[in-house]
């Protein structure tokens, strides 16, 4: 069914928060609020990570475009159907392939968006990464699989290249999913999961990994991942005969449309306080920015997808793919700011779910 969009991107509605500098001012108590919180970088430094350094690069993450068939309320990418220009070119994808081929510590190519499958070069790129022997992850919003005939064979394509499919599903009920992601999303997501199951995804012994991503619907931390996973498995199996492998519980970071939501609902200060109070030192060592490089659709390099959305480029010589310098990146200091509290709260949060 046609998805009823939740609204427009911040960019399309000319919201001040579409400006990344403005977002950083808010996070540091200089715009919209004067609430100040302890500096995240100092908390990390007090633990002995002074400065905060990476470990060998394992995950090469590409945000290949902000174009998406949905406009979810909490999207930290500000993606949507209007974001047509923000799409990675074939030339930039070729530069990515050169890097992936030349850095042997890279084990995984993690492709995100937007809806990455809407990039016209998506399938070619997956095939090339596969030829290089890399594990490919596709961060799939599920509804794209049923959105249009041209995407209906995505499950077979993913299976052929043993792509790990990581799919967002905020909840196992229609009301909670649709209120976050748009009317009709739940129904289409269930259909897509069934199509993925039909080719073997999520089935024992198939070697085809299907993981779900849960993020809270409001200004609170996720419940324990293990508990959520058990509940999702039970409910999806009982109601829809759906199987999946793991569930990742992810904390909403105060960035982009979720930051806008926090401000609009008067929850910003309370939410930041929750994150700060839940700071968990045990998560710091495993933060995803330590073994990841994130590339934007236009080829710039970042410590993670969130820094990318705030336009905090890597603090190293060679901030663009064309000047990629692995030695300089190894020696860089990771750029931290107040949004980072979202990654260290409670059990921690990363693109792979809980950290500790």
Q: How far apart are CA 342 and CA 340, in angstroms?
A: 5
Least separation in angstroms between CB 131 and ligand SF4: 27
Cβ closest to ligand SF4, residue 213 vs residue 242: 213
Q: At 281, list the tokens.
A: 């030192």
Least separation in angstroms between CB 132 and ligand SF4: 25
Cβ closest to ligand SF4, residue 80 vs residue 222: 80
Nearest alpha carbon to residue 335 among 309, 302, 305: 302
Residues at the site binding ligand SF4, with contacts judged by CB under 6 A: 68, 70-72, 75, 77, 79-80, 113-115, 141, 168, 181, 287-289, 303-304, 306-307, 334, 336, 339-340, 343
Cβ closest to ligand SF4, residue 128 vs residue 144: 144
Q: How far apart are CA 132 and CA 307, in angstroms?
A: 28
Q: Which residues contact 30 (CB under 8 A, 6 or more apart)?
A: none
Q: Which residues contact 29 (CB under 8 A, 6 or more apart)?
A: 35, 36, 37
Least separation in angstroms between CB 106 and ligand SF4: 18
Cβ closest to ligand SF4, residue 147 vs residue 321: 147
Least separation in angstroms between CB 305 and ligand SF4: 7
Cβ closest to ligand SF4, residue 248 vs residue 306: 306
Q: Count Cβ atoms within 10 A of the Cβ of residue 133 and give its class: 0-12 exposed, 13-18 middle, 19 or more buried.
A: exposed
Q: Count Cβ atoms within 10 A of the Cβ of residue 255 and give its class: 0-12 exposed, 13-18 middle, 19 or more buried.
A: buried
């Amino acid at each position: 069914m046609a998805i009823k969009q939740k609204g427009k991107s911040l960019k399309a509605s000319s919201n001040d928060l579409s400006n990344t500098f403005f977002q950083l001012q808010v996070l540091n108590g200089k715009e919209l609020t004067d609430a100040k919180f302890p500096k995240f970088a100092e908390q990390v430094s007090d633990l002995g990570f002074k400065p905060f350094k990476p470990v060998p690069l394992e995950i090469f993450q590409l945000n290949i475009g902000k174009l998406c068939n949905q406009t979810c309320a909490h999207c930290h990418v500000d993606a949507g159907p209007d974001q047509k220009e923000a799409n990675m070119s074939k030339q930039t994808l070729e530069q990515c392939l050169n890097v992936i081929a030349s850095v042997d510590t890279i084990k995984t190519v993690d492709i995100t968006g937007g809806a990455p499958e809407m990039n016209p070069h998506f399938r070619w790129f997956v095939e090339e990464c596969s030829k290089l022997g890399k594990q490919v992850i596709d961060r799939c919003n599920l509804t794209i699989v049923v959105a249009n005939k041209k995407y209906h064979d995505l499950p077979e394509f993913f299976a052929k290249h043993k792509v790990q499919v990581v799919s967002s599903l905020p909840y196992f009920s229609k009301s909670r999913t649709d209120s976050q992601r748009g009317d009709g999303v739940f129904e289409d997501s269930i259909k897509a999961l069934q199509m993925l199951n039909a080719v073997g995804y999520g089935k024992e012994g198939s070697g085809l990994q299907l993981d779900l991503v849960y993020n809270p619907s409001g200004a609170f931390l996720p419940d324990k991942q293990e508990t959520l996973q058990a509940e999702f498995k039970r409910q999806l199996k009982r109601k829809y005969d759906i199987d999946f492998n793991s569930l990742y519980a992810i904390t909403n970071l105060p960035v982009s449309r979720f930051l806008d939501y926090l401000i609009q609902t008067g929850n910003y200060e309370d939410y930041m306080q929750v994150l700060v109070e839940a700071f968990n030192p045990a998560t710091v060592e495993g933060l995803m920015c330590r073994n990841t490089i994130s590339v934007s659709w236009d080829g710039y390099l970042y410590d993670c997808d969130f820094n990318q959305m705030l336009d905090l480029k890597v603090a190293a010589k060679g901030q663009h793919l064309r000047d990629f310098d692995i030695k300089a990146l190894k020696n860089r200091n990771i750029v931290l700011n107040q949004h980072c509290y979202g990654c260290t709260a409670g059990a921690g949060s990363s693109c792979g779910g809980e950290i500790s």
